[in-house]
Structure 1
Amino acid sequence: MVPKFLIARLSLSFTHHRSTHFQLLQPKHNAILLFFNSFTSGTSSDSESDGNHPKGDTFTVSYLINSCGVSPTVAKELSKRVNLKTPDGPNAVLDLLNNYGFSKTQLAKLVMRHPFVLGSNAENTLLPKLKFLQSIGVSNSDMPKIVINSQHILFRNLEKCLIPRYEILKSVLRDDGEVVRALKNAPFAFTYSGVVNYLVPNIEVLRQCGVPQGSISYMMIHCGSVAYRNHSKFMEAVNTAKEIGFDPLKTAFIVAIEMLLTKSKETWESKFGIYERWGWNREMALRAFRKFPGVMKLSEETFTKKMSFLVKDMGWSPEDIAEYPVVMGYNLEKRIIPRFSVIKILISKGLLENDVHFSGIICITEENFLEKFVINFKENLPLLPNVYNSLINAQSVI
C-alpha cells in the first residue's frame, strides 16, 4: 500500500497545480515565459518585417540551425514558439544536456519537440531534475530517451511532483532499478496526473487478486501504460481475464489484461474472423488466447503466414496449433520454418516418427535442437547442417 502521507502530499500538489503554474511565470523561468509567449503575438513592436519573417528572429533561426542542428525550415517554424536574444542562456542549456548524455542528434530532437527548453535556466530549472534522475539510477545513455519522450519532466516541480511520484512508483516496484526500467517504458509516469486516481487503485486490485510482485513488475516494465488506465476499465479487464480462465498467479494474466485493454471490440471481432478462416471457432480461439495471450498481438499478415506454413506445408491441423499456440510466438523465418523444415526432411526420410510434439521442436534451445535433430543425423544426411543454416540465413523463404 502507498503511505497515506504520500497520497496527501501528491493530492496537495494537484490542488496547487494551477497556482504553481502561475508562479512559474516569473522572469527567472524563461522557458515558461517563452512557451506562454508562443500563444501571443510573435512579433515585437520594434521588429522590422522582412517578407514573412521578422528580422528580430534572425538570431533565433540562425542559432537553431547552427547550434541545435535543425533544418532551416524547422528552425523558422520553431522561431514562432521561441525567441532567443543572446547565445549565453541556450549555450548553457546545451552544455548541460551534453554533460548528461545528449548527442547532437538527440539535442536536435529535444529542441524540435520542446523548443522552450532553450530558454530555461540551466542551473536552477534543469540541473536539479537531471541530478534527481541520475540519483535514482538513470544512466546518461537512458537520460535523453526519457527526457525527450516525457513532455514535462524537466519543467514540473521537483519536490511537489517528481519526487512524490517517484516514491509511489518505488512502493509499487521492488527497487530503483525497476523504477528506471518502468520509466523508460512509460516516461510520462513522473508527470501523469492519474498516478493516484488510477495507478494506485489498479495495483491494489491486482494485489487483492493475488497477482505476485514479479507479474506487477513485469506489467510496469513491459506494458507500463496499461497500469495507468481508467480504474473502472482496468477492473473490467481484470474480471474478464478471470472469467476467461487466466490464472492471476501467472504472468499471462497480465498479458491478457493488456490485450483486453488495448484492443477494441471491433479488433477482437476482426481477430475472431481471421481465426475462423483458419479453422478456429470462437471457443478454440479463446482457448488459444488463454494458453498464449500473445497470439492476439499478431497482425493478420503474420498470423496468416505462420498458419499457412504450419497447416499447408507441415500438415499440422488447426486444432493442434490451437492446443499449443505458443508456437505462433516464434520468429517465422529464423525459427519456425528452419526447424520444422528439418523435421519434415527427417520424417520424409523415415528417420523420425511423425509424432514429435511442438514443444520438443520449437521450445528447446538452439544448441539442443542442433544436437538432437541435425548433428545426430549427420551420418545419414551429411548436407543437413548446410540446409539448416541456409534456411536460417535466407532473406526470404516464403
Structure 2
Amino acid sequence: MLNKWFLSQNVVLGLITTKTTTSKFNNPLFNQHFSFPFSLTRFCTTTSQSESVTHPFAASYLINNFGFSHESALKAFNLKQVRFNTADKPDSVITFFQNHGFSHDNIRIMIRRAPWLLSSQPHKRFLPKFQFFLSNAASSSDIVPLLTTNPRILRSSLDLEKQIIPLFELLSRFLKTNKDIILCLIRYWTAFATNPYHLIVSNINLMSDFGVSDNVIGSLLQSRPSIFGSKDLIKSLEEVKDLGFHPSMTNFGTALMAKKCMSKKLWDEKIDTFKKWGWSDEAIIRAFRCRPELLLASIDKINLVMSFWVNQLGWNSLALTKRPHIFSYSLDKRITPRASVLQFLLMKGLQKKNASLVTPLSYSENLFLQKFVFSFKVDSDYLLKLYEETMKIAYPMENNGMPFTN
C-alpha cells in the first residue's frame, strides 16, 4: 500500500526538479439498477412458473422488484424478515413512502437495507412517527435521506411512546432545536435503542456532575452517542482529566471520544507508531492536548503522513508536534500539493530556511496561493502548474481506498 502510494508521490516530486451486470429478467424494471415508473401505483410482482415453485411469494417479490439475489431473498424469508403471500401489504408500504416524499431510489435502498419494512402496517407503525417528526420542525426533505440509510427507528410501533418521546425530551436539554433532536435520533437510533434509557440518563448526569458542559454533552450526543451506553464512563472521564483536559473545555469532549472509542490495544499501537517516528511520550501528550483529534487518525494515516514528511521530503518529524492538526488533512489533496510548492521555494532560496513548513498547510487555499504562489511573480506560472498538476495526480490516488480523512 505504502509503496504504491509513494510511487505516485515520487512522480509528483519529480515535477519539482524538471462491470455492468445483465439482468436475469427481460423487464427492465427487474434489474438491479431499476427505478420505479411514477405512473405505477403497484409494483409488478409476477414471477415465472419455475420461480413461483422454487420461492415463496415474498422472496420472489424481493427478487423481482428490488434486485435481491435468490440467496439474499431466501435468507430474508427464512429469518422471517418478510412474511406476506400477496402484494397488498408490501404495495401499501411502497405507496406510503412515495406519498411521504421518498423517491424510487430511496425506497430501493431502504428495502435492501431493511426488507422487514415490507411486512409492516404503515399506518400503524410508520405514520405516528412521521407525524411526530414533522410536528417537531423536521421537514420531509430533512428526514427522507436519513431514514433512507437509517430506517431502524421505524421498526417497532411501541418505540414512539416508550423510547422516542422520552429521548426527545432528554435531548431537548442539550440540543438547540427540535429539528436537531429529530435528526440526531434518526441518525443514531441504533446507539440510542441498544442502550437502556436509564443508563443514558445516568451517564449524562455523571458527565454534568463531573463538570462537563452542556455544549460538550450535546456535541457528543450528536456525534458519538454510544459513549453514553458505557458502563465504566467514570474511568474514561478520570483518564482524560489526568491527561490535562479540563472538563469544562470544549476539547474535553474530543479527547473523551478519542479515549473511549478505541480499545486500549489500539490506543497503545498508535502511541507506539508516533514513537517509531521519533516522538517522545511528552511530545505525544503535548500534541494530543493541542489537538485531541490526533489519536482519531488511523495508524495507516499516521504512517503515510510521517513517511511523506520524513522520507520523501527529508523534513523533521518533530515539526509536526507543533501543528498536529496536519494529521486530519488529506495527504493527497492538501499536504502533498502544498509541500511540493514549499520544497521548490526552498530549493530556489525563495523561502527562509527557518520558516515554518507546517503553518502554510493550515492556511485556506486562497491565502496559501496568494502567499506562496502568486507573490512570486517570476515563478508564479510554474508554481501554479506544479500545484495543479500535483492535485490532478492526487485525485485518482484519493479514490484507491486509502484511509485518508479530509
Query: TM-score, structure 2 length as denominator?
Result: 0.76
Shift of 1:246: 1.6
Corresponding residue number in structure 2 for 1:180: 182
Do the aligned residues in 2 keep the contact of 1:391 with 1:397 (CA within 8 Å)? no
Could you list the per-position Cα deviations for residues 351-377 of structure 1 after superposition, in whole angstroms to 9, with x for gaps in the alignment? 121222356301111111111110000
2:220 is aligned to 219
Kindly indicate whether the alpha-carbon contact (under 8 Å) linking 2:109 and 2:148 is maintained by their aligned counterparts in 1. Answer: no
Q: Which runs of 5+ in 2 are unaligned?
A: 1-48, 399-406
Change (3 A) 1:108 1:62: same
How far apart are the structure 2 equivalents of 1:167 and 1:138? 19
Describe the SS at the equivalent of 2:203.
Answer: helix
Percent identity between matched residues is: 29
Q: Give deviations 1:314-353, integer Å, cap 9, x for gaps.
A: 3432322223211222111111111122112112212121
- 1:202 maps to 203
Cα distance 1:109–1:283, how it changes in 2: closer, same or farther (>3 A)?
A: same
Query: Do the aligned partners of 2:340 and 2:386 also contact (CA within 8 Å) in 1?
Result: no
Where in structure 2 are the equivalents of 1:331-342 lying within 5 Å?
A: 331-342=330-341
Amino acid across the alignment from 1:85: N
In 2: Cα distance, 1:279 partner to 1:355 partner: 20
Distance of 1:267 and 1:189 partners within structure 2: 22
2:63 aligned residue: 65
Q: Which residue of 1 aligns with 2:5?
A: none
Distance (Å, rounded) in 1 between the aligned partners of 2:68 and 2:53: 19
Q: Is the 8 A contact 1:185 1:222 kept in 2?
A: no
Deviations 1:88-115 (A, max 9, x none): 2221111102223434444344434443
Closer/same/farther in 2, CA of residues 72 and 107 from structure 1, 3 Å limit = farther
Compared CA separation, residues 335 and 195, structure 1 to 2 (3 A)? same
Q: 1:193 to 1:273 in 2, by over 3 A?
A: closer
Deviations 1:142-192 (A, max 9, x none): 335336535353314222332122111222322123213423541235634
Change (3 A) 1:284 1:184: farther
Say yes or no: does 1:149 pair with 2:147.
no
Q: After superposition, where does 1:315-394 map in structure 2 within 5 Å?
A: 315-358=314-357, 360-394=359-393
CA distance 1:354–1:93, change in 2 (3 Å): same
- 1:220-239 alignment to 2 at 5 Å? 220-226=221-227, 228-231=228-231, 233-239=232-238
Aligned-CA RMSD value: 2.9
SS at match of 2:378: coil
1:308 — aligned with what? Answer: 307
2:278–2:318 contact (8 Å) kept in structure 1: yes
- Residues 185 and 223, structure 1, Cα contact 8 Å, conserved in 2: no
The answer to whether the 8 A contact 1:374-1:385 is kept is yes
String of CA shifts for 1:48-107, please: whole Å, max 9, x gaps: xx99x9959643233223344433332233333233122222211111022234344443
Return the alpha-carbon distance in structure 2 between the equivalents of residues 311 and 274 of structure 1.
14
2:207 alignment partner AA? L
Higher relative contact order (CA 8 A, sep 6+): 2
* 1:259-287 Cα shifts (integer Å, max 9, x gaps): 11121111122122211210112222222
1:167 aligns with 2:169: yes
**Length-normalised TM-score, structure 1:** 0.77
* Equivalent position amino acid for 2:166 in 1: P
